[in-house]
Structure 1
Amino acid sequence: MSTPTAPHALTALEQAAAVRAGDLAPEELVRHHLARAEAFDESFGAFVTRTPEAALSAAAALRERSDAERASPLSGVPTAVKDLTDTAGVATTYGSKAFVAHVPTADAHSVSRLRAAGTISIGKTNTPEFGCCCYTDNDVKGPARNPWDPALSAGGSSGGSAVAVALGLVPVAHASDGGGSIRIPASACGLFGIKPSRGRVSSGPAGAEVTGLAVQGPLARSVRDAAALLDALAGPEPGDPHWAPPLPEGETFLGHADRSPGRLRIGRYASPAAEGVTVDPECVAAWEHASALLESLGHDVEDIPTPFGPEIGDHFVSAWGVQSLGYAVEPDREALLRPVTRAWREYGRTVSGERFAAAVTGMQRASRRAVRATAAYDVVLTPTLATVPRPVEYFDESGDPLVNLHRQSAFSAFTSPYNMTGQPAVNVPLYWTAGDVPIGVQLVGRPADEATLIALSAQLEEALPWRDRYARLLSASAPAALAG
């Protein structure tokens, strides 16, 4: 194939095809993306650490692999790994000054799978400290800024990965999601993101499993790219506490992106379970827009009651506070933590064993009720966020941490319940405001049914392609070119 456009404007699958055809060498592709990261990273905060030498070495080594080893749909494609996930020999800070010198000696299983698929990481992407927040800012790198408007937050906690993909610093990126951390930045940055089913992607060997809330998955500009990256990531490892049933023999998630979803029954709601959260009219407009598009494609869209009660908020907060203690910080380094991180950890220490057990049990009971309540529907549609993207300063941590935490609550009001149920969920970028800011919608699948979500999302992308939306971002050669 020929490459008439800049390499970074190609999809991940197009880049891999160009490598297979000999139109692009892996080293050329890596150098191109490294140069683009060099140009944009300081202004937008995508990376905590960039690894040019390791990336170029991996690209050169790819030539020595057999044809069978290079047959992966993403072989030779640059990517990046969220800085919460261990990467051998590369500083992994978890977004914290307390871990700036931390260099793991072993890869997380997900990183090993990405290597095996022939993808080439060019660095570790920006994340809030320990992934505790739904925006991305820390004392190691600073904030991740929204590519559509750098005055706005990119969302979190996978904000760095979202920025990198939206700006074409990499075509696809690794991310993780414990309360909305893939879907939130996907919505804010106009991307397609998949929160897989619990157990679909191994979080071992060192991943925190105390609550089962967090999973790892892909961020991409296209459904097919995200499906291909999920294929690379998916699969259990011995010892994993959660396993999602595999696809039938011979099937792939990428294959489902090329299949019709059929006529689906879709339930929708736009009132979050969290009390006191008002949904922004732009978010409702995006939800109504998606509903009309789904109906025009022949699907049955029905209003349903919110399947969760307000009590889930207390359960989630208790579990999240305890989970924030999963990072062992030496007592003399606790002062290096940011105020909101300290607030979460201080709260977590007040949660008794009895209360934590009650929170986990409460989440499980609420999850079972919600799954039963929506069992008649193939997919559930909600807004992804209850608010439009906020200015970076909106999440300032210099004041009362409780003010900050309340401000975050609207961002995860629709997303965090599905971390409790473990169902797969995606953000689909179908709607932009008059000011050219993306507003996503969330599609939730039946347990372990990413395949239907991918097929439906691909149908939506074909009906209302969003690729051209990125022209302004991907044609810019420097941050100044995005002004206005």
Structure 2
Amino acid sequence: MNIEEYSSQDATGLAALVAAGEVTADELAALATDGINAVNEHINAVASGPFDAPLDYAQDGTFAGVPFVIKDLVCHAEGVPTRMGTRMLADGMTPPSDTHLMERFRAAGLATLAASTTPEFGYSANTEALVYGSTRNPWDTTRSPGGSSGGSGALVAAGAVPMAHANDGGGSIRIPAAVNGLVGLKPSRGRVPLGPDVDGNALSGMAIEFAVTRSVRDAAALLDEAAVNYPGDRFIIAPPERPWAQEVGADPGRLRIAVHTEAWSGTSVDPEVAAAVEQVARTLEEAGHHVEWATPTFEWEPFLEATAKAWAAFLAESVAGIEAMTGRTAGPDNLEATTWACVQYGRDLSVLEMAAANATFNSISREVGRFFESHDVLLTPTTNHPAMRLGYLDANADLDALGWTRRIFEAFSFTPLFNTTGTPAVSLPLAESGEGLPIGVQVAGPMCSESMLLRLASQLESALPWAERRPRVHVTKV
């Protein structure tokens, strides 16, 4: 197998070739290692690695031998240093054991070869942490790969690995998927394990773990492997009626699809992005779905303020944990300016202020729940604009916690709602801008609707295929 053949396959395809004896896992690891090294010179997406050999994995797993990357945040592997995007951890903290999700990735047979970059503690829709330097978008290296899973998104888009771990506290799976031309599924709250270090209520319940992939079938098959409950999990939710992999290609039926292209923040949406969503809506109508313009309604400013409080509290808690583990004191010398501003704000929040934030989240979640009683799906842009220029989200800007939160979500207004509600949403790379940049379209549904979303995503993948598109920086070109 050569690099062209390797990068033309998704993870499911590579796993089938390994199982058939047409390629060995060692050959795949060598190709992936070479590919990671080659593209990383241009996109700077690797936090650590490639490792001398893949981390141990189950030889009989569904994806046995398929190259993989984990994000340097939350999910971690025994003995592999993690820095979480912060200088506070210097050369990294070495965990003594796997997280539950890492156990699932190993059990699935994924051959982990590296860790990918993240912004500091994941609080940005860009990936330019000082500890790593700027990660760049392979479609245009003057632009951002999104965040916070920008390193994973860039490596998958560049063909180095077929899929990679990602997590999402406000859009951090879906935003990198959108601007890198990938599939980014954020599952329902409680679907994928966060433990044992944190529970399902981390980040006020907004934090979700999963991956970015090149194909819908990979997202479905990986969800079958990752969605396992562990003793002590805070949330155990309804399982699917059948494996998610079986939903790919299945008839979604006639769905009631709502379409909305105006940002809930009131900020601008690129006309090409809005036009892409409208084209997808027409495609769905032609496929027999009922399509209408509709949206849940909520007040943006209280939502933004509650989001700022939740993130500030999370960052203050995270920093306190690092201080306790390392003996280092947090401050502007080892934290980026906006992180430090959020930490200081989070330290001063009262119980009553957090209760008010959670009450806001509850009110909004109830409104969205009512909306999905009369609509099966909500179709929106994933991001307000195609990939933005590097530096737009400068984490060292002179902004307070609310100002930084506003800067992020006024530019990325469509994703955070579904972290608040805990409901699933997927970004699909269904269009391109006039400059050739990917445009992601978000499809969201009610709680536990992953099966429906995967059926619809598969229908759209067939109608508006994207598999042949390749960025300027790609393993076949460098």
| TM-score category (smaller protein) | over 0.9
CA contact (8 A) 1:74 1:118 kept: yes
Q: Deviations over 1:228-276 (max 9, x none)?
A: 111121121111112221112xx211111131111111011122332x4
Amino acid across the alignment from 1:10? Q
2:167 equivalent among 173, 176, 179: 176
**Is 1:302–2:292 an aligned residue pair?**
yes
Q: Deviations over 1:377-401 (max 9, x none)?
A: 1111111112232111222344322
1:332 maps to 329
CA contact (8 A) 1:198 1:243 kept: no
1:424 maps to 424
1:342 maps to 340
Which residues of structure 1 form unaligned runs of 5+? 479-484
User: Per the alignment, do residues 206 and 4 of structure 1 end up closer, same or farther by CA in structure 2, a change over 3 Å counting?
Assistant: closer
1:409 maps to 409
Q: Equivalent pairs: percent with the same residue?
A: 38
C-alpha separation in 1, matches of 2:145 and 2:446: 29
Deviation of the 1:294 alpha carbon:
1.1
**Is 1:269–2:260 an aligned residue pair?**
yes
Deviation of the 1:7 alpha carbon:
1.1
1:190 maps to 181
Q: Deviations over 1:426-457 (max 9, x none)?
A: 00111101110011111001211101111100
Task: Give secondary structure in 1 for the equivalent of 2:468.
Answer: helix
**Is 1:357–2:355 an aligned residue pair?**
yes
Aligned runs of 1:203-218 on 2, under 5 Å? 203-207=194-198, 209-210=201-202, 211-218=204-211
Deviation of the 1:336 alpha carbon:
0.6
1:113 maps to 104
Q: With the length of structure 1 as denominator, give the TM-score of the two structures.
A: 0.92
Task: Give secondary structure in 1 for the equivalent of 2:426.
Answer: strand
**Is 1:22–2:13 an aligned residue pair?**
no
The alignment covers a number of residue pairs equal to: 464
Task: Give secondary structure in 2 for the equivalent of 1:81.
Answer: strand
Answer with 96-105 or 327-336: which moved more.
327-336
C-alpha separation in 1, matches of 2:38 and 2:471: 17
Which residues of structure 2 form unaligned runs of 5+? none
CA contact (8 A) 2:255 2:289 kept: yes
**Is 1:285–2:284 an aligned residue pair?**
no
Deviation of the 1:5 alpha carbon:
4.4
**Superposed CA RMSD:** 1.9
User: Per the alignment, do residues 419 and 377 of structure 1 end up closer, same or farther by CA in structure 2, a change over 3 Å counting?
Assistant: same
2:123 maps to 132
Deviation of the 1:410 alpha carbon:
2.5
C-alpha separation in 2, matches of 1:51 and 1:305: 44
Q: Deviations over 1:8-62 (max 9, x none)?
A: 221111100110111110011011001110111132122101142241x637xx6
Aligned runs of 1:437-448 on 2, under 5 Å? 437-448=437-448
1:481 maps to none
User: Per the alignment, do residues 14 and 326 of structure 1 end up closer, same or farther by CA in structure 2, a change over 3 Å counting?
Assistant: same
Answer with 201-210 or 362-371: which moved more.
201-210
2:365 maps to 367
Deviation of the 1:73 alpha carbon:
3.0
1:97 maps to 87
Q: Deviations over 1:297-326 (max 9, x none)?
A: 111111113433222222111111111123
C-alpha separation in 2, matches of 1:207 and 1:79: 23
Deviation of the 1:473 alpha carbon:
5.0
CA contact (8 A) 2:259 2:379 kept: yes
**Is 1:320–2:311 an aligned residue pair?**
yes
1:82 equivalent among 71, 84, 92: 71
Deviation of the 1:474 alpha carbon:
4.3
1:160 maps to 151
Task: Give secondary structure in 1 for the equivalent of 2:261.
Answer: coil
Amino acid across the alignment from 2:274? V
CA contact (8 A) 1:86 1:108 kept: yes
**Is 1:235–2:228 an aligned residue pair?**
yes
CA contact (8 A) 1:267 1:374 kept: no
Amino acid across the alignment from 2:367? R
User: Per the alignment, do residues 261 and 393 of structure 1 end up closer, same or farther by CA in structure 2, a change over 3 Å counting?
Assistant: same
Deviation of the 1:408 alpha carbon:
1.4
Answer with 307-316 or 456-465: which moved more.
307-316
Q: With the length of structure 2 as denominator, give the TM-score of the two structures.
A: 0.93
Task: Give secondary structure in 2 for the equivalent of 1:144.
Answer: coil
Amino acid across the alignment from 2:271? P
User: Per the alignment, do residues 319 and 352 of structure 1 end up closer, same or farther by CA in structure 2, a change over 3 Å counting?
Assistant: same
Answer with 395-404 or 460-469: which moved more.
395-404
Task: Give secondary structure in 2 for the equivalent of 1:467.
Answer: coil
